[in-house]
């Protein structure tokens, strides 16, 4: 493996565990990645409103596989069950894209929930920043909140209920680490 590839793999891994692997000093124990993945199976959230129980069940497995591997992939159309295709027919996007972005949102939700709980339970982080992509699909609500920092207890709920992006809200919580000023070497 080339060095740059190795660095990319490592960076992707570290991005998933932004505070590193060291023990968290707050009262909440740090969850393992697979424990966070498991939360997808227990998701009961408005993100899944309007979808049949069969579709929800299928999406949870698809979302959990991606989350566990820390990767996202689109399924070929013929791998998407007819019931799921039908549920997404009115969304204006094809079933491949709809299923993909819905599962991304589900994974992001459990990650955000975990980040928030970890910050709330610990004593190193006082503020959380909302970050998200800024592209053609970013809606006004998300664009307005991007880059803003909030006290942990006051950070707005994600996903944004007012998000109008066809891809769903892609905003995430980023803990703000407050570091004492480190003097630069003269």
Per CB under 5 A, the list member of 56, 165, 173, 174 interacting with Zn ion is 165
Q: Is 142 near Zn ion (CB under 5 A)? A: yes
* Short-list 76, 43, 38, 69, CA closest to 57: 43
Bridge partners, 152 (sequence order): none
Q: Which residues are CB-contacts of 108 (< 8 A; sequence separation ≥ 6)?
A: 158, 159, 170, 172
Residue with Cβ nearer Zn ion (155 or 169): 169
* Window contacting Zn ion (CB under 5 A); options: 69-77, 98-106, 122-130, 167-175: 167-175
Instruction: Kindly state whether residue 139 participates in binding Zn ion, applying the rule CB under 5 A.
Output: yes
Which residue blocks in 122-159 are alpha helix, DSSP H? 140-145
Nearer to Zn ion, 30 or 98 (CB): 98
Q: What is the CA radius of gyration of the chain?
A: 18
**Min. distance of Cβ 67 from Zn ion in angstroms?**
21
Question: Could you give the CA distance from residue 141 to residue 70 in angstroms, rounded to a whole number?
Answer: 27
CB of 182 to Zn ion, least distance (A): 36
Question: Where along the sequence are the contacts to Zn ion (CB under 5 A)?
Answer: 139, 141-142, 163, 165, 169
């Amino acid at each position: 493996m080339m060095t740059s590839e190795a660095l990319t793999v490592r960076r992707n891994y570290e991005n998933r565990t932004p505070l590193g692997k060291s023990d968290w000093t707050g009262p909440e124990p740090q969850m393992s990645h697979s424990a966070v993945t498991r939360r997808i199976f227990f998701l009961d959230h408005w993100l899944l409103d309007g979808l049949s129980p069969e579709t929800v069940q299928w999406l949870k497995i698809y979302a959990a596989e991606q989350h566990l591997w820390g990767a996202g992939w689109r399924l070929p159309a013929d791998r998407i069950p007819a019931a799921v295709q039908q549920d997404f027919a009115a969304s204006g996007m094809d079933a491949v894209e709809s299923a993909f972005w819905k599962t991304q949102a589900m994974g992001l939700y459990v990650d955000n929930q975990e980040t928030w709980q970890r910050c709330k339970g610990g004593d190193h982080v006082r503020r959380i920043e909302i970050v998200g992509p800024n592209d053609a699909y970013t809606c006004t609500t998300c664009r307005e909140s991007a880059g803003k920092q909030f006290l942990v207890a006051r950070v707005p709920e994600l996903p944004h209920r007012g998000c109008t992006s066809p891809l769903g809200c892609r905003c995430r919580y980023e803990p703000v680490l407050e570091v004492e000023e480190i003097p630069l070497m003269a």
